[in-house]
Amino acid sequence: MKVNKNVLMITQLSVLVALEIVLSRFFSISLWNQKLGFSFVALAMAGMLYGPVGGAIVGGLSDFIGAILFPIGTYFPGFTLTNAIVGVIFGLFLNGKLIEKRKNKTLSLILYTDISVILNLTLCTLLLNTMWISILYKTPFKELMATRLVQCCIMIPVEIIVLPILYHLSKKIKRAFRINKKNNKTTSL
C-alpha cells in the first residue's frame, strides 16, 4: 500500500498531539505548581521521528489546543513556548542522527538521553516553567523553584528509563514506514 509521505507525517504528528493532550490533561498529577506525568512521551516520540521541527510542532500545538479545549488554569503562552522547546531538545538529541553516527550506539543513546532529560528538566521545567508560574501567580521565584525541585527529582529517573525504550520503538516505526524517495511515497510493511 502506498501512502503519501506528507500525509503520513501529518497523521503521525496529529496522533502525537492528541496523545500529548490526553497524557497531559487527563493522566497527570497536577498541583498548582507541579505536574507529574508521561506527556513527555509524545514530545519525545515526535522528536525521534521528525526531529526538532516535529517536536516543536507537537509541543506547541498540543499545549495550545489542550489549554483551549481542557483548561487547567489560565492560558499563558510561555508554557506553549516551553513545551515547543522541550520537543526541539528531544528532536535535536534523540532523532537518531547523532546516535547512529557513533560506534558505540548504546553508550551514545544513554549519553544523549541523559543530556536531553537534564536540559529539559532544568532549563524548561525548573527555570522557564517556574518563571512562568512566578509571573502568572505573582509568587517569589526562588521559593517556588525550591518546591519544584521535587518534580525534577522524580521525573529524571522516569524519563531516563522510558526514553531509550521509546527510541527503540521509534526505530521500529521508521522501519515500518520506509520512505521511497524515488516517487515520494511511503511503503507500509
| Whether 90 contacts 46, CB under 8 Å | yes
Residue that is written with C-alpha cell 509571573 in the block: 135
pLDDT at 175: 84
> In whole angstroms, what is the distance from residue 175 CA to residue 177 CA?
5
* Confidence grade of residue 186 (pLDDT, cut at 50, 70, 90): low
| Whether 165 contacts 183, CB under 8 Å | no
Write down the H helix ranges in 27-129: 40-69, 77-94, 97-100, 105-119
Domain ranges for the chain: 2-179
pLDDT at 182: 44
pLDDT at 114: 95
Summarize pLDDT for 11-64 with one digit per residue, the tens. 999 999 999 999 998 988 777 667 788 999 999 999 999 999 999 999 999 999
DSSP assigned state of 127: I
Summarize pLDDT for 113-126 with one digit per residue, the tens. 999 999 999 999 99
Query: Class assignment of domain 2-179?
Result: mainly alpha
Per-residue cell: 176 = 515500518
| Whether 134 contacts 144, CB under 8 Å | yes
Summarize pLDDT for 158-179 with one digit per residue, the tens. 999 999 999 999 999 888 876 4
Considering the chain, what is the average pLDDT of its residues? 89
> In whole angstroms, what is the distance from residue 109 CA to residue 96 CA?
9
Higher pLDDT, 3 or 96: 96
pLDDT at 181: 43
| Whether 177 contacts 188, CB under 8 Å | yes
Summarize pLDDT for 60-92 with one digit per residue, the tens. 999 999 999 999 888 999 999 999 999 999 999
